[in-house]
Amino acid sequence: MADLMTHFALAYGLVRFSRFVRFRVIFYLGTILPDLLSRPFYILRPELYPYTVAVHTPLFMLVTCFAVAEFFQQEIRPQVRHFLLAGAGLHFLVDLFQRHLVNGYLWFYPFSWDSFEISWYWPHEPLRFIPLWIALICAVELFMWIRGKKMTAQGR
């Protein structure tokens, strides 16, 4: 897996588009959900690995997104479902380009145990960009904050 900071940074870039604004948190949640549900278990308890095989798969995430959306108020449930799915989709898209020594991701689980990946980067390689992602996010947030303050001042 790419680290969650990389996944988050890419999602952050996308939520700049206006249609993401209302459900940005849901989109972020969808982006981190596949790793959030699978990694802690086998990092803390490696013997549980066979049980986590299914979790980081598109079908599992599809059903999870449906289940999670049920815990939101009815009026926004369809949108929550869509944004969770979009976030999880972005996560899998990023992971598709990753390289593995053995056992890649099971895209068609449980129908197939075969794996496929584009193999552009090793899991540790995005780590070097993390300072850049953090700096960019801080810069954008600072810019938005200053612009917001200016607009408020002009409004007065």
Partner 1 sequence: MRYRKLLPGALISRRWTGNRWLRICICLSILVGLIVYGKAANRTVTLQMCLHNPEKYDGFTIDVGGEAQVVQVTEDWFTIRQMGRVVKVVGSHADIRPDEYVICQGVFHREGWLELIKVYVAVQRRYKILVSILPVMIVALLLLKDYGFDCSRFQFYQRRTWRT
104 binds partner 1 (CB under 8 A): no
- Peptide bond before 78: cis, by omega within 30 degrees of 0? no
141 binds partner 1 (CB under 8 A): no
Radius of gyration (C-alpha) of the chain in whole angstroms: 18
Q: How far is the CB of 74 from partner 1 (least distance, A)?
A: 8
132 binds partner 1 (CB under 8 A): no
51 to 80, contacts with partner 1 by CB under 8 A? 51-55, 57, 59-60, 63-64, 66-67, 70-73, 76, 78
Per-residue H/E/C for 1-31: CCCHHHHHHHHHHHCCCHHHHHHHHHHHHHH
CB atoms within 10 A of CB 92: 15
User: How many whole angstroms separate alpha carbon 138 and alpha carbon 1?
Assistant: 24
The amino acid occupying position 1 is M
Tokens coding 74: 């009815």
Contacting residue, 88, 94, 98, 103, with partner 1 by CB under 8 A: 103
Residues at the site binding partner 1, with contacts judged by CB under 8 A: 3-5, 7-8, 22, 24-25, 28-29, 32, 35-36, 39, 42-43, 46-47, 49-55, 57, 59-60, 63-64, 66-67, 70-73, 76, 78, 81-82, 85, 101-103, 109-110, 113, 122-124, 127, 130
